[in-house]
Amino acid sequence: MNLTNDPRIVMTLDAGGTNFRFSAIRGGKPVTQTVAMPSNGDDLPRCLANIVEGFTRVKQQCPEPPVAISFAFPAPADYPNGIIGDLYNLPGFRGGVALAPLLEEKFGIPAFINNDGDLFVYGEAIAGFLPHVNSLLEKAGSPKRYKNLFGVTLGTGFGGGIVRDGELFIGDNSMGGEVWLLRNRLAPSMNAEEGASIRAVRRVYAQAAGVPFEQTPEPKVIFDIGMGNAAGNATAAREAFRQLGVVVGDAMGNALTLVDGLGVIGGGLSGAAPLFLPALVAELNSTYTNPAGETYRRVTSVVFNLEDPGQLQIFLKGEAREVTVPGSTRTICYDPLQRLGVGMSRLGTSEAVGVGAYAFALRKLGH
Tens digit of pLDDT for each residue in 149-181? 999 999 989 999 999 999 999 999 888 999 999
- What are the distances in angstroms from CA 78 to CA 56, 115, 170, 308? 25, 10, 10, 40
For the chain, residues classed under CATH 3.30.420.40 are 9-114, 120-346
191 pLDDT band, cuts 50/70/90, is: very high
CB atoms inside a 10 Å sphere around CB 123: 35
CATH 3.30.420.40 is held by the domain 120-346: yes
CA distances from 238 to 157, 187, 242, 243, 286 (A): 20, 19, 6, 9, 20
Rounded to whole angstroms, how far apart are CA atoms 44 and 126?
A: 34
Q: Is the Cβ–Cβ distance between 49 and 37 less than 8 Å?
A: no
Query: What is the C-alpha separation between 172 and 133, in angstroms, rounded?
Result: 30
Average pLDDT over residues 23-47: 91
Please report the pLDDT score of residue 99 as a whole number. Answer: 96
**17 has a pLDDT exceeding 80:** no
Q: Taking a C-beta distance cutoff of 8 angstroms, is the pair 244, 201 a contact? A: yes
| 359: Cβ contacts below 8 Å, ≥ 6 apart | 1, 3, 28, 122, 123, 126, 127
Cβ–Cβ under 8 Å, residues 339 and 315: yes
The residues that bridge with 23 in the sheet, in sequence order, are: 12
* Buried residues in 232-242 as b, exposed as e (16+ CB within 10 A): bbbebbbbbbb
Going through 73-200 in order, the beta strands assigned E by DSSP cover: 77-78, 83-84, 97-98, 111-114, 148-154, 158-164, 167-169
Among 4-13, 16-25, 263-272, the range scoring the smallest mean pLDDT is 16-25
Q: How many residues does the chain have?
A: 367
CB-based contacts of 81, cutoff 8 Å, min separation 6: 98, 100, 101
Sign of the CA dihedral running 335, 340, 345, 347: positive
Task: State the pLDDT confidence band at 367, using cuts at 50, 70 and 90.
Answer: low
More confident residue, 294 or 351: 294
Closest CA to 344 of 243, 248, 250, 257: 248
Integer Cα distance of 169 and 139 in angstroms: 29
- For residue range 259-286, what is the model confidence (pLDDT) as tens digits? 999 999 999 999 999 999 999 999 999 9
Architecture of domain 9-114: 2-Layer Sandwich (3.30)
